[in-house]
Structure 1
């Protein structure tokens, strides 16, 4: 629909964006440029601490690395499950879909605390390792990055699996039959036909998982503990413990900017692959 009155349809959404997104960001930016928590004078002190301190820079790197490793781990599990779903019968497809959606019906807080029991010294994983003789003593999994990535992989799996299932469901089975009839092996069919057609779902899932894992304050704090330094926990500490609001605002904007840069790069990658 075109015409001079079309902008009125977008006006409510535009006002909502200004009220709930743009305005808080401007307030956050203004807070980051203040001298102290009283917000009386302007200064670049907070930004100098965030961008000039090696500890804070390393926290940014740790946060982005956590998101990337979680994406890789979920991909290693979600891609085979999506391929099984594509080739399965109706009943198995429903079972896989229910298994993918079921975790979303449970609070992320509940799932995170459940992983404390699983990853503990007397948890399921350590009990299995000791019972099978793979380890003589309990393995430290809590407050470690591998343990955190393992928990986030299960927590974020639906965000990767559901877009992949949606993408693979749109693939025409005749394309697979044509590839097989032309003599292509299963591996070649998967790499040359299935994966390129499923790329939009893969990019969408990777974007969702990365953004969610990098900003997963609850999981990072509960499972990672105080030994691992990630930006979400540092933002909370500066805002709620130290009460350094300018530094917390600068860290929050740095976190958002870093995540948006990676998300933008993933989107560009997806567009480039579709036009290739």
Structure 2
């Protein structure tokens, strides 16, 4: 008889319960603690403030914009990998993995130089005549989106490469023989085959962007407040831990619902057939 694999999963399950499930359960329980015992006052205090709701929407908006940006950048790179030879493929993989080997804090502070008034973006705009004086993209949503796209770009490139590596080039050859042009081949053949990788990348990018406290605080600044910064303010400045727990739960539910929706789409039988 074949032995069960349950004993090998037991250590992983124990670690998950101790270091993930239990702290999460404590967080949820703490979010319901009020002055008079168990209540919903923390959630009503958060949801009743229009500023907090705007911060939640800004966090979702940042994640969506980053997903769009990384998609527009990641698809051409993945297609270049698919059409290249072995040496070029190794270079693309190497360049995609290098940013992931560098600390997120280091990359964030490097972007301070890039987005500053004397940085390359400002100098390029001056040289091209788009502006008459140096400009700074620091503490702007545009600068933050650019930074998050560079930081999270490998999270969408690698799933796309993994999916395209299994694509048979005879499919595109057959479409070209049938008279399809490059754009039609991409839209009708390659894009449907790339959807599982795209959905996986969207999940990773959105989750990473919406929870990136350091980058949001350094590049976004005090004028662009997002949910992780709001939680930090309640914990480290106002010391209102129950309200901070409620905000964290709202962040988990809002972003988690989007991630679950993407996961459900990714598990659709038609997409699974392409994977």
TM-score normalised to structure 2 length: 0.94
Counterpart CA distance in 2 for 1:147 and 1:6 is 48
2:203 equivalent in structure 1: 207
Aligned to 2:32: 33
CA distance in 1, matches of 2:213, 2:272: 37
Match of 1:81 among 65, 77, 92: 77
Give the match's secondary structure for 2:179. coil
- Residues 40-189 of structure 1 correspond to what in structure 2 (within 5 A)? 41-189=37-185
Cα-to-partner distance string for 1:55-88 (whole Å, 9 max, x where unaligned): 1111111101100000000000100111111001
Q: Shift in Å at residue 197 of structure 1?
A: 1.0
Q: How does 1:220-239 map to 2 (within 5 A)?
A: 220-239=216-235
C-alpha displacement of 1:14 = 2.3
8 Å Cα contact 2:196-2:272 kept in structure 1: no
Partners of 2:88 and 2:7 lie apart in 1 by 47
Write the distance in 2 (CA, Å) between the matches of 1:153 and 1:13: 32
Please give the alpha-carbon distance, in whole angstroms, between the structure 1 residues aligned to 2:100 and 2:83. 24
Number of positions where the alignment pairs a residue of Structure 1 with one of Structure 2 = 272
For residues 77 and 103 of structure 1, the distance between their equivalents in structure 2, rounded to whole angstroms, comes to 15
For structure 1, the residue ranges without an aligned partner over 5 or more in a row are none
1:274 corresponds in structure 2 to: 271
Structure 2 stretches lacking a partner, 5+ long: none
Moved segments of 4+, more than 4 Å: none
Shift of 1:275: 6.6
Cα root mean square deviation, aligned: 1.8
TM-score normalised to the size of structure 1? 0.93
Separation in 2, partners of 1:53, 1:2: 58
**Structure 2 residue 189 is matched with structure 1 residue 193:** yes
